[in-house]
A and B are shown apart, each in its own frame.
Chain A
Amino acid sequence: MPPDELKRLSRIKSKLECRSSILEGIRAFFRQRDFIEVETPLRVPAVAPEQFISPFTSEGWFLSTSPELQMKRLLSAGYDRIFQICHCFRKDERGQNHNPEFTMLEWYRARGDYLQVIRDAQEMVLDLAGKTGCGQVLKYQGQEIDLSLPWPQITVREAFLRWAGWDPFKTFDGQRFDDDLVARVIPGFLSERPTVILDYPPECASLARLRPGSPPVAERAEIFIGGLEIANAYSELTEPSEQAQRFKLEAEQLRRAGKPSAWPQKFLEAVEYLPESSGIALGVDRLVMLFCDTRQIDDVMAFPADLL
């Protein structure tokens, strides 16, 4: 065995053990709550068209960027509590917190809204903290993070007004939004607590339902812990024509950029039967990074893409 590989795999062994316990803990958490674990295909004929998520192609099909579409087809068929732990693939995503192949945990429930799945996530993280022996306080990069419930919440509007000095609901600027989110808003979050940021501008709705009002907001929430984006939740959009319209806009952007996409017809047919529901996607690798106190996603994966 090459000495570098032996050295690396020996160094991260305790982290991979922690990863294994976390996976076991996640499954136990959901089984206790009557969720069924499902598996949906990794290789699919279409993924949700999204301007800033690029799929790998595979013989005319795609590698899944998220199990969302197929899991929602299950929701439409009456599966009202489902979860899945699977690999997702996103082209060109590589950095300290990114590997083009990564592990996602997604769960969906009929009836509840985005705040319901955010509560599930908080309880799950606290439950895992108990199981891994750190109690209510996570030590991450020299910082103690108090996980006790409920976690502080802030709306996107308040957060941008406070830390970036502008209101994205007034004049939306996508690039400025992303830049300021990363450079100003996230660094503004309390470092000793997780943060839930919620109610996004409609332009960032993705597959989330809009709540009418002035202004209307997308019922979308995200969880940040230790500066890491951990999870993204929606009250699911259940209106087929609205969903098709959003996909059309995204597909048009992809076409202009010369990127491949395909129309998720079967999913759109299922949206008609989608009950009022909510869902959330949580990055398992990043969760493991938190529990293993590392800033490098490579430390929690046996074989990151560059070492294959």
Chain B
Amino acid sequence: MNIEEVSKNTKLLIDNTPFSVETVEFVKPGKGRAIYKFRLRNLFSGNVLDITYHSGDKVEETSITMHEMQYLYQEGDNFIFMDSSSFEQIPMTKEQVGEKTGFLKEGTPVVVMMWEGRPIDLQIPKVVELKVLETSASLKGATITAQMKEGKLETGITVGVPAFVKEGDVIKVDTRTGTYIERVGSK
């Protein structure tokens, strides 16, 4: 594709590696060549690459497809997802899933980005509902305060929860910040 057509979020293939365009800075002397300064993200490693192109340059666009899937289970260091339409099962490594592991439980709907048949990134819901397995000792008799206490959730992560949250409660958690939103019930 012509360099002029590249914009934010275009996926490019450089040295056989897929990159996503994060920012485009356009500079041009009035009579001179356009200079395009791209900040690219390597979709395998997540590393950032700054690269400069000029008017007339061509780059190879690559396609990244999005697939609706759901999380099934963990197997060793792999997390197994199932494509909701083809029912195909796809493993992603612990490194690829990263901190999102703390929000995945069986059945969580996700969107997996695939490049040439390989999963490269994962989007999870902004809000997930998770069960509280343990909280610090109940504060019966103590003064009710707005203070937070620790709550360990079914996925193994710990979030700050209000004093009234009990073991067995289900809470909503913001996956972008990893914080408690509200209690939705008890199971």
Residues of chain A having any CB pair with chain B under 8 Å: 50, 52-53, 91-98, 174-175, 177-179, 181-182, 204, 206, 222, 229, 232, 257, 281
List chain A residues, Cβ under 8 A from B4.
91-92
Set B24, B25, B26, B31: member contacting A52, Cβ < 8 A: B31
List chain A residues, Cβ under 8 A from B105.
none
Main secondary structure of the interface of A (DSSP, over half): mixed
Set A95, A97, A178, A281: member contacting B32, Cβ < 8 A: A178
- Evaluate contact between A181 and B28: CB separation under 8 angstroms: no
List chain B residues, Cβ under 8 A from A53.
31
List chain B residues, Cβ under 8 A from A92.
4, 34
Counting from the closest, the 4 A-B pairs by CB-CB distance are: A95-B26, A178-B32, A92-B4, A178-B33
Q: How far is the CB of A99 from chain B (nearest CB, A)?
A: 11
Of residues 1 through 54 on chain B, the ones whose CB sits less than 8 Å from some CB of chain A are: 4, 24-35, 52, 54
Which of B24, B30, B32, B56 counts the most A-chain CB atoms under 10 A from its CB? B30
List chain B residues, Cβ under 8 A from A175.
33, 54
- Evaluate contact between A93 and B35: CB separation under 8 angstroms: no
Residues of chain B having any CB pair with chain A under 8 Å: 4, 24-35, 52, 54-56
- Evaluate contact between A52 and B32: CB separation under 8 angstroms: yes
- Evaluate contact between B56 and A257: CB separation under 8 angstroms: yes
- Evaluate contact between B33 and A98: CB separation under 8 angstroms: no
In the complex, what distance in Å separates the CA atom of A51 from the CA atom of B29?
A: 13
- Evaluate contact between A179 and B31: CB separation under 8 angstroms: no
Q: What are 8 sample pairs from A and B whose C-beta atoms fall under 8 A apart?
A: A52-B31, A91-B4, A93-B34, A94-B26, A98-B26, A178-B29, A178-B35, A222-B30
Given A52-B55, A179-B35, A182-B35, A96 and B30 touching (CB < 8 A)? no
List chain A residues, Cβ under 8 A from B24.
95
In the complex, what distance in Å separates the CA atom of A142 from the CA atom of B29?
A: 24
List chain A residues, Cβ under 8 A from B56.
257
List chain B residues, Cβ under 8 A from A232.
30-31
Given A52-B55, A178-B35, A229 and B26 touching (CB < 8 A)? no
Set A98, A174, A204, A257: member contacting B28, Cβ < 8 A: A98
- Evaluate contact between A96 and B33: CB separation under 8 angstroms: no
Q: How far is the CB of A94 from chain B (nearest CB, A)?
A: 6
In the complex, what distance in Å separates the CA atom of A178 from the CA atom of B53?
A: 12
Q: How far is the CB of A281 from chain B (nearest CB, A)?
A: 8
- Evaluate contact between A95 and B31: CB separation under 8 angstroms: no
In the complex, the chain B residue whose C-beta lies closest to that of A222 is B30
Q: How far is the CB of B61 from chain A (nearest CB, A)?
A: 16
In the complex, what distance in Å separates the CA atom of A98 from the CA atom of B25?
A: 11
In the complex, what distance in Å separates the CA atom of A204 from the CA atom of B30?
A: 11
- Evaluate contact between B31 and A204: CB separation under 8 angstroms: yes
